[in-house]
C-alpha cells in the first residue's frame, strides 16, 4: 500500500502544478484587466478635466468681444461667430492628470458651442500575461458645451442709439445680470451667469 500511495502522489504532483499555474495565470490576467480598467478611468477623468478647462477658459476669453458686441448692439452676431478654443488650458489639465492631449477642437451648432478633447494616458499595464496589453495606452474623449441661455433687454438713456444698459435674464429666469458697456462689471462675476459650461455625453 505504501508503494501505491507514493506512486499516486507522484502522478498527482504534475496535475497540482498545472492547477497552480492555471490559477496564477488567471490571477495575473484579472490583475491586468483591472489595471487596464483603472487606466481607462484615469484617461477619461483627464479628458473630462481637459474639456472643462478648455470651455471655462474659452468663456473667460469672451470678455472683450462680448462687451464690444454690446457697444455695437450686435449680441446675435457675436453668438453666431466662431471662436478659438483655449486648448492651452486643456493641455495643462490633461498633463496634471497624467495624460497627453491628442486633440482639441470646437464644434458649432445653432443651440450651443462645444469643445471636444481627446487624450492618451501616460501609464501602461506593464508586464502582462495578456498579449499586446503591456504597451497599450488608454485613450478617452470628452465634450464640454458653452451655453448662452439668456434673454435680454436694453435701455438707451440718451436717445443716441447707443444702448447704455443691458439686462439679462438667464437659466429660465433663475439668474440675472446687468451690464453697462461703459463700465462693465468684473467679467468673472457675470460670465458664469451668461454662459453655462458643463460636460455632455457623446
pLDDT in tens, 60-82: 999 999 999 999 999 999 988 88
Is 202 within a domain?
no
- Say how many C-beta atoms besides its own lie within 10 A of residue 20's C-beta: 10
Count how many domains the chain has.
1
Measured from the Cβ of residue 12, the count of other Cβ atoms closer than 10 Å reads: 10
pLDDT digits (tens, 9 = 90+) for 119-137: 998 866 554 545 555 567 7
Residue-number span of the structural domain to which 57 is assigned: 2-146
**Is the residue at 184 inside a domain?**
no
Residue 178 covered by a domain: no
- The residues of the chain scoring below 50 in pLDDT are 127, 129
**Whole-prediction pTM value?**
0.76
> Helix 87-96 to helix 2-60 angle, to the nearest 10 degrees?
150
CA distance 157 to 187: 23
Half-sphere CA count of 178, side-chain side, radius 13 A: 3
Residue 136 lies in a domain: yes
Q: In the prediction, which pLDDT does 63 show?
A: 95
Assess if residue 68 is contained within a domain: yes
- Extended beta strands in the chain, E state: 99-108, 113-124, 137-148, 150-155, 165-170, 175-179, 195-200
In a domain, 74, yes or no: yes
The grid coordinates listed for 75 are 449680441
Does 116 reside within a domain? Answer: yes
Assess contact for 178 and 168: CB atoms under 8 A. Answer: yes
Q: Tell whether 185 is covered by a domain.
A: no
* pLDDT for the residue numbered 127: 47
Amino acid at each position: 500500500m505504501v508503494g501505491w500511495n507514493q506512486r499516486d502522489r507522484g502522478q498527482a504532483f504534475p496535475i497540482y502544478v498545472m492547477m497552480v499555474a492555471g490559477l496564477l495565470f488567471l490571477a495575473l490576467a484579472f490583475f491586468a484587466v483591472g489595471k487596464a480598467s483603472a487606466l481607462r478611468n484615469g484617461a477619461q477623468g483627464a479628458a473630462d478635466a481637459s474639456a472643462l478647462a478648455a470651455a471655462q477658459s474659452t468663456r473667460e476669453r469672451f470678455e472683450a468681444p462680448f462687451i464690444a458686441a454690446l457697444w455695437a448692439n450686435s449680441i446675435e452676431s457675436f453668438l453666431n461667430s466662431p471662436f478659438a478654443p483655449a486648448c492651452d488650458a486643456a493641455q495643462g489639465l490633461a498633463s496634471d492628470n497624467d495624460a497627453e492631449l491628442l486633440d482639441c477642437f470646437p464644434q458649432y451648432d445653432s443651440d450651443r458651442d462645444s469643445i471636444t478633447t481627446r487624450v492618451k494616458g501616460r501609464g501602461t499595464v506593464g508586464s502582462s500575461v495578456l498579449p499586446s496589453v503591456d504597451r497599450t495606452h488608454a485613450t478617452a474623449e470628452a465634450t464640454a458645451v458653452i451655453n448662452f441661455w439668456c434673454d435680454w433687454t436694453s435701455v438707451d438713456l440718451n436717445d443716441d442709439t447707443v444702448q447704455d444698459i443691458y439686462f439679462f435674464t438667464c437659466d429660465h429666469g433663475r439668474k440675472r445680470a446687468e451690464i453697462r458697456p461703459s463700465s462693465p462689471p468684473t467679467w468673472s462675476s457675470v460670465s458664469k451667469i451668461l454662459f453655462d459650461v458643463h460636460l455632455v455625453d457623446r
